[in-house]
Amino acid sequence: MAEKKYWKGLEELNQAPESAQLTQPEFGEEIPVEFFDSNNDGLQSNRRDFLKMMGFSLTAATVAAGCEIPVKKVAPYIFKPEDVIPGIATWYASTFYNGGDYCSIIVKTREGRPIKIEGNRDSKVTKGGTSARVQASVLSLYDTARLRNPMVKGKRGHDNASWADIDKAIAGKLAANPNANIRIVSSTVISPSTKKVFAAFAEKYPNTKVYTYDALSYSGMLMANMASKGKSEIPDYHFEKAKVIVSIDADFLGTWISPIEFTKGYVATRKVTKEKPEMSRHYHFESRMSLTGSNADYRVAVAPSELGVVALNLLDAITGSSTAGGAKLKDEAKQARLKEAAEWLKKHRGESLVVSGCNDENVQLVVNAINDALNNYGNTITWDCANMLRQGSDASIKTLIGELKGGQVNILMVNDCNPVFDHPMGDQLAEAMAKAEMSVSFAGSMNETAANCTYICPDHHFLEAWNDAEPKRGLYSLSQPTIKNLFDTRQMQDSLLTWSGNAMTYHDFMVQNWVTGPLAGKADAMGAFNNALQIGLYQPENGNVIEAVVATLTAATEMAPATTDVSSAAANILGMAKKASGVEIQFYESIAIGDGRYADNPWLHELPDPVSKITWDNYLNVSPAYARENKIEHGDVVTVSVNGKEVKLPVAIQPGQANNTVSVAVGYGRTMVGRGVVGVGVNVYHLLDASGACVNYMAANVSITNTGENVKLAQTQTHFSLNDGLGQRRIVKETTLAEYKKSPNAGNEDRAEALAWKDITFYPDYFGKKNGFNWSMAIDLNSCVGCGACVISCNAENNIPIVGKNEVIRSREMHWMRIDRYYAGTEENPEVVYQPMLCQHCENAPCENVCPVGATNHSSEGFNQMAYNRCIGTRYCANNCPYKVRRFNWFDYGGADTFGTMNDAKETENRGLLEDLTRMVLNPDVTVRSRGVIEKCSFCVQRIQEAKLSAKKDNRELKDGEFRVACQSACPADAITFGNSYDDTSAVVSEAKDERTFGILEEFHWVPSIFYKTKVRNKDKADHKNEEALDIMDLYNYK
């Protein structure tokens, strides 16, 4: 069998000269000796002067540092809170909710500061999983750009004001005209108590209307569900019950509705064992390469306008109807794959799932019809716990603009949304807002909409606030403050209560809502509430529902289904498809930045996009073939003209992008965010077409012209290559389900050979002797979907700094953990493997024995340990690391150096951890590294030591699974297992014994402590033969 060839980027695939460099030692630059030795023009000092100066400055530094030791002060509590012991973390259960993203969480606080967020394992919705966005949200609490007090619009921008003044002005205005037309525009609210606050406000001021809109809209789906199911709601999808999943451009592992929940469910169907060699089969139709598409068993690249045709063809193949009217996918092979998907669906009626991410009522109607035909409703799709996370209607903003223009709005209030930035008609809205007599924003930090408001009444950060949430009907969770509000902010609900003349605080209001509502029947309602608050959840078995839905808030009224007929939908779809010509574009939500509300978070900016691996930018994805034909290079800036509007974007050549289509992420190009993150990327929201019933995230007839300019994209995909430049090292291993069924070690047959010398060691005292602990990790490549939650979790846990775009371009990102993404096969539609890569803690580590000062060495517990204070920065270890996981501090990113910041201007763009406020996020148990030292994954030794200590104090053995390392606990896919490999009963040992287990580059006998498990694709051999165009083996065999 021809060896499968993996590649990380096109330059590697095409053997471009740059790729040869990438496999060279990481820090292999020659020192320009001659340059320093000669008295060059323009160089004022030569080598000898340099040495003299160095000697002088060293002495000066010694004198300066040695003379006086700074006096340190320590201030104890005045009254120590009972539950706080300095040095011991206090955990609070709470809820993360931000514009449609929901997660039940527990928050770690140290000395009163929230520093880390973990998933709440008791939640029935997110089940302990988290996402990168959830993990990063703790940093936004300490954002220096947060508003510190209420503001009122003055002549030049906004002036600071006091709450008393603001209340006087706003309450005065309301009192003067209680019948004023008030519009509250908000992103989806899932808090029952907040809805009650809105209702109470509307009761007091009867002409109040609440407009809900979501920047990234699910309007089409809500409308379709209304039409065919009589419910303007999103149902409860059970990915865990689906044996066949067909997704028509629904990125359900990355961004679609509730990705944490869906990842949990999806991965549950993908865990194969010898005992249960079964997994779901996943077909994916899309134009851009999404995170979900890259995880599919079969991904079919189609143009955006063909997505509806795919749905119609599926429907026809399943029901035997002919709605498609002969319309087909242009490519034969793709059409065949479509047929095959339909066959699989038919075989699994009631245990399959068809989902679509199109914001088009027509496509959604067809998808509903397919699921109906497959008898999936009631099985994999249910309505009991309908999903509440998206309730917005695209009509609302348009109505609002009309009303504003007509002078029908007296007071406008903007809650938790930024329509001026993220609505296609944002500029019109900004203009029309001036016509309202008063506009009020509750934005916590300045944004494009707030800048147009008369008053800004900053809301608390969610970690400072009380709240409740109902992410799915009948399943509740609660939020509680984990820190007193840092600034003079006030919760939005408190503001509204104050203005509606209610003397209650929102906390009291909410408690009352609970004890008189769902908990009213309990003997001790207050006690029950406190219990719910303590675990952060209220999940009654029989679905005890809070009746708090406000009619004006959502149109979630149930009525008889209007239609199950899809003929008119089909006509619309076919009409659209026929109209589409030329290059088509798709606008998508990026994993990190979302609709733009996360654009203030540098952790998320520096998180490489899972697929493209590009940071700090949005860009136009084009297919390699298109780039070749039109002579566009990676990084070329092009002018994109869509719907008569133009924008300049850099090009990223993206394997897997359907040919003649392009795609670009929305949410970038925020102009009013904090320093360091302002102006990252380009705003493309105004290119969207909002003229129809739903905002259209696709467009055809796009013209692209090259400006001739070229920029560097901060792309990490080929940084730190493990390859030898020939693509012959077996770094990832994979197999198909059919092969796996035949032999559990399929794809991993060569492991026995690799383990030939397994008993040879540098450390005979420790090696293989069951003495105490030896820490080990197992990562299941079949579970890992590549979402990046672990990367950000590691950032937060280990005080990892961000470095900024320019430094990423120089491949100086500091992430201890990265997710390597490998392509295999053709550039048109490659297969993708994600491989989390971190220090492998080799038992025979090549880095250890090249350190001239012994700063990195081996511990008896199997750590490859790193003593920062001993490191002198030779970087020999990094050069000798086969996995390229060691990071060098080129600057004083963390502010650890004695002499303050010794950095040059380059670094000030990302002052990050040099700000006192931002430094509050630091984990006090982990050293802040100084300039000039190497750092890397420590296996979260601080967590291990903490767990060991608590076991010692209790006089008991350490239990397996008692603690979780940061990446492991963040993972929504449960892909990571960690434990003591000397303990035969531990989970990690049973993982290590599995036939799928292998170590990366094991044949060199570095004896890594991290095991990976072979990826299994649900493909069978026949499929490869079926489809030559998609066969990956032979086309690009460069050997």
Q: Which residue from 21, 38, 45, 62 is in contact with other proteins, where contact means CB under 8 A?
A: 62
516 by Cβ neighbours in 10 Å (0-12 / 13-18 / 19+) ranks as exposed
Only one of the segments 406-414, 588-596, 862-870, 880-888 lies at the binding site for other proteins (rule: CB under 8 A); that segment is 862-870
The residue (of 2 and 79) whose beta carbon lies closer to other proteins is 79
* Chain residues 874-913 in contact with other proteins, contact rule CB under 8 A: 896
CA-to-CA distance for 257 and 764, rounded, in angstroms? 53
* Chain residues 947-986 in contact with other proteins, contact rule CB under 8 A: 948-949, 951-953, 955-958, 980, 982-983
Q: Is 521 in the site for other proteins (CB under 8 A)?
A: no
Only one of the segments 61-69, 157-165, 265-273, 827-835 lies at the binding site for other proteins (rule: CB under 8 A); that segment is 61-69
338 by Cβ neighbours in 10 Å (0-12 / 13-18 / 19+) ranks as buried
997-to-157, 746, 833 alpha-carbon distances in Å: 60, 11, 16
CA-to-CA distance for 1020 and 1006, rounded, in angstroms? 34
Structure tokens at 933: 């030292």
Cβ–Cβ < 8 Å for 828, 623: yes
Only one of the segments 258-266, 393-401, 567-575, 921-929 lies at the binding site for other proteins (rule: CB under 8 A); that segment is 921-929
Q: Is 57 in the site for other proteins (CB under 8 A)?
A: no
Q: Which residue from 869, 905, 1025, 1034 is in contact with other proteins, where contact means CB under 8 A?
A: 869
CA-to-CA distance for 769 and 250, rounded, in angstroms? 50
Q: Which residue from 29, 32, 79, 156 is in contact with other proteins, where contact means CB under 8 A?
A: 79
CA-to-CA distance for 51 and 109, rounded, in angstroms? 48
- Smallest gap from Cβ 693 to other proteins, in A, equals 57
CA 559 to chain centre: 37
Only one of the segments 66-74, 142-150, 364-372, 707-715 lies at the binding site for other proteins (rule: CB under 8 A); that segment is 66-74
Closest CA to 868 of 889, 849, 884: 889
Cβ–Cβ < 8 Å for 508, 497: no
Q: Is 32 in the site for other proteins (CB under 8 A)?
A: no
Q: Is 770 in the site for other proteins (CB under 8 A)?
A: yes
986-to-184, 498, 961 alpha-carbon distances in Å: 54, 56, 8
- Smallest gap from Cβ 939 to other proteins, in A, equals 9
Q: Is 865 in the site for other proteins (CB under 8 A)?
A: yes
The residue (of 144 and 865) whose beta carbon lies closer to other proteins is 865
Q: Where are the beta strands (DSSP E) in 885-1031?
A: 887-888, 934-935, 976-980, 997-998, 1010-1013, 1015-1017
- Smallest gap from Cβ 952 to other proteins, in A, equals 4
The residue (of 953 and 1039) whose beta carbon lies closer to other proteins is 953
Only one of the segments 38-46, 145-153, 333-341, 934-942 lies at the binding site for other proteins (rule: CB under 8 A); that segment is 934-942
The residue (of 628 and 770) whose beta carbon lies closer to other proteins is 770
Q: Is 52 in the site for other proteins (CB under 8 A)?
A: no
Residue 1031 Ramachandran class (φ > 0 left, ψ -120 to 50 alpha, else beta)? beta
The residue (of 318 and 922) whose beta carbon lies closer to other proteins is 922
408 by Cβ neighbours in 10 Å (0-12 / 13-18 / 19+) ranks as middle
Cβ–Cβ < 8 Å for 935, 869: no
Tell me if residue 83 falls in helix, strand or coil.
coil
Only one of the segments 79-87, 266-274, 388-396, 603-611 lies at the binding site for other proteins (rule: CB under 8 A); that segment is 79-87
- Smallest gap from Cβ 994 to other proteins, in A, equals 23
Phi, psi values for residue 860, rounded to 5°: -70, -15
- Smallest gap from Cβ 944 to other proteins, in A, equals 9
Q: Is 772 in the site for other proteins (CB under 8 A)?
A: yes
Q: Which residue from 861, 892, 994, 1002 is in contact with other proteins, where contact means CB under 8 A?
A: 861
The residue (of 278 and 897) whose beta carbon lies closer to other proteins is 897
Q: Is 85 in the site for other proteins (CB under 8 A)?
A: yes
Q: Is 1007 in the site for other proteins (CB under 8 A)?
A: no
Radius of gyration of the chain from Cα atoms?
29
* Chain residues 799-858 in contact with other proteins, contact rule CB under 8 A: 857
Q: Is 74 in the site for other proteins (CB under 8 A)?
A: yes
Q: Does an H or E element contain 387, and which?
A: strand 381-387
* Chain residues 196-225 in contact with other proteins, contact rule CB under 8 A: none
Q: Which residues pair with 780 in a beta bridge?
A: 1013
Structure tokens at 301: 């690249």
- Smallest gap from Cβ 919 to other proteins, in A, equals 12
Only one of the segments 165-173, 678-686, 937-945, 1010-1018 lies at the binding site for other proteins (rule: CB under 8 A); that segment is 937-945
Structure tokens at 390: 């998206």
Residues that bind other proteins (CB under 8 A): 62, 65-66, 69, 71-80, 85-88, 769-773, 857, 859-861, 863, 865-870, 896, 925-928, 938, 941-942, 945, 948-949, 951-953, 955-958, 980, 982-983
